[in-house]
Amino acid sequence: MPNFAGGALGWRTVSMVETIQAGALRTAFNLPPRVQRALAGRPVVIDGQTLSVDTQLRLRLERAARMPDPASLPVAEGRKEILRQTGLAAGNQPIGAVRDFTVAGRPGRLYTPSEPGPALLVFFHGGGWMHGDLDSHDPACRFLAERSGVRVLAIDYRLGPEHPFPAAYDDCLAAYEWAVTNAESLGADPARLAVGGDSAGGNLAAVTAIEAARRGWPLAFQLLVYPATDFGEDTRSYELFGEGFWLTTQYMELGRECYLPPGLDRRDPRVSPLHADLPAGLAPAYVVTAGFDPLRDEGEAYARKMVEAGVAVELKRFPDQIHSFFNVLVTGSSSRAATAEIAAHLRAALS
């Protein structure tokens, strides 16, 4: 039962360069706010929103360090870069206990908080359906579990381009069905099961929730953090924030290329839940968006669609944040505070 508790990043080896970079970043974010503002530059205001100072500073420092867009690298190298960036931004977060095991044929990791309640969140990581794994979201899952008191079961689903749709879709449905069947052995109340994820994982959580309602599986709640919901249309937020705010147009296009097989209708509801006929009994949802995120508008459109279908939905936009804030826990106080708010909402929804 590995607990991944030792070292700065217990789940992987950290280079000397990364250690120095991490130290420099954390020093910058411990500076007084007025100094951070001076280093960050003039405020960034777009669409009536002002980017948080610490986020603006982080982006500027990352550009100065010439951190690459993972989409500019071969997919295998992009996966390594995602892990490296997670290490710098998220650090090692405390947790009661961690256990790795197999879930419906896929690697899974159970995070048990220090003071666990009876609820369980089945979590699907982001990464454009081509990047990400249990380690890339290990700090975020630790933080979410420990702050909410909810057990978190993270799933390592198959990725494109090696395994395009419907591999990830099938893996997530199978994992959630497994969790339903095995809830009690995981220490969870079957009546307090939730599904969630960020970005591509938010997409997979949304379509899993839809299918759970259709199949009559118990599901109490869905947590959708800046979910991708529509492959069919580009939005105004896509145009406004596709460059300069971490998630780039290049990244999104590569993700589509890796995930969608040739000939698949981009409005297929299994990949674009915004175009789904929503079934009765869809679980209540908390939809989180970021103001400076290309996915902002489609996530909010899906929240409105669920409301129109009679689903209980709370939509929360963090107007000063960018895509990926969920994974930024040590190099920005505003992003950590936003994720803490998400954890508090999860606790309340499943208490």
Give the model confidence (pLDDT) of 278-314 as tens digits: 999 999 999 999 999 999 999 999 999 999 999 999 9
* Cβ–Cβ under 8 Å, residues 318 and 336: no
The pLDDT, as a whole number, for residue 1 is 29
The pLDDT, as a whole number, for residue 9 is 40
**Region 196-223 average pLDDT:** 98
The pLDDT, as a whole number, for residue 6 is 30
* pLDDT tens per residue across span 143-154: 999 999 999 999
Architecture of domain 16-264+282-350: 3-Layer(aba) Sandwich (3.40)
The pLDDT, as a whole number, for residue 7 is 30
Contacts of 39 (CB under 8 A, 6+ apart): 28, 31, 57, 60
Q: How far apart are CA 277 and CA 286, in angstroms?
A: 19
What pTM was computed for the model? 0.92
pLDDT bin (cut points 50, 70, 90) of residue 28 is: confident
Selecting among 199, 237, 272, 324, the annotated active-site residue is: 199
Q: How far apart are CA 304 and CA 302, in angstroms?
A: 5
Query: Which residues face 266 on adjacent strands?
Result: none
Q: How far apart are CA 22 and CA 95, in angstroms?
A: 21
**Region 236-254 average pLDDT:** 96
**Region 57-68 average pLDDT:** 90
For residue 119, which of 345, 290, 277 has the smallest C-alpha distance?
345
Q: How far apart are CA 330 and CA 71, in angstroms?
A: 24
**Region 208-223 average pLDDT:** 98
Residue 29 has pLDDT above 60, yes or no: yes
Query: Which residues face 123 on adjacent strands?
Result: 154, 196
Q: Which two tokens stand for residue 312?
A: 């209980």
- Domain residues of the chain, as ranges? 16-264+282-350
Instruction: For residue 324, indicate whether it is catalytic.
Output: no
* Cβ–Cβ under 8 Å, residues 193 and 220: yes
Selecting among 133, 323, 324, 335, the annotated active-site residue is: 323
Selecting among 230, 293, 297, 320, the annotated active-site residue is: 293
Q: Please report, rounded to a whole number, the percentage of residues in the chain having pLDDT higher than 90.
A: 82
Higher per-residue pLDDT: 24 or 334: 334
- Give the range among 12-21, 61-70, 128-137 with minimum mean pLDDT: 12-21
**Region 83-109 average pLDDT:** 95
Size (the chain), residues: 351
The pLDDT, as a whole number, for residue 23 is 62
- Give the range among 106-115, 268-277, 329-338 with minimum mean pLDDT: 329-338
Mean pLDDT of the chain: 92
Contacts of 47 (CB under 8 A, 6+ apart): 237, 240, 291
Q: Number of helices and strands (H, E) in the chain?
A: 11, 10
* Cβ–Cβ under 8 Å, residues 111 and 154: yes
* Cβ–Cβ under 8 Å, residues 117 and 351: yes
**Sheet with 106-112, side-by-side order of all strands:** 97-103, 106-112, 151-155, 120-124, 193-198, 221-225, 285-292, 313-322
**Region 165-190 average pLDDT:** 97
The pLDDT, as a whole number, for residue 246 is 94
Instruction: For residue 323, indicate whether it is catalytic.
Output: yes
Which residue is associated with the tokens 């893996």? 171
Instruction: For residue 268, indicate whether it is catalytic.
Output: no
Residue 17 has pLDDT above 60, yes or no: no
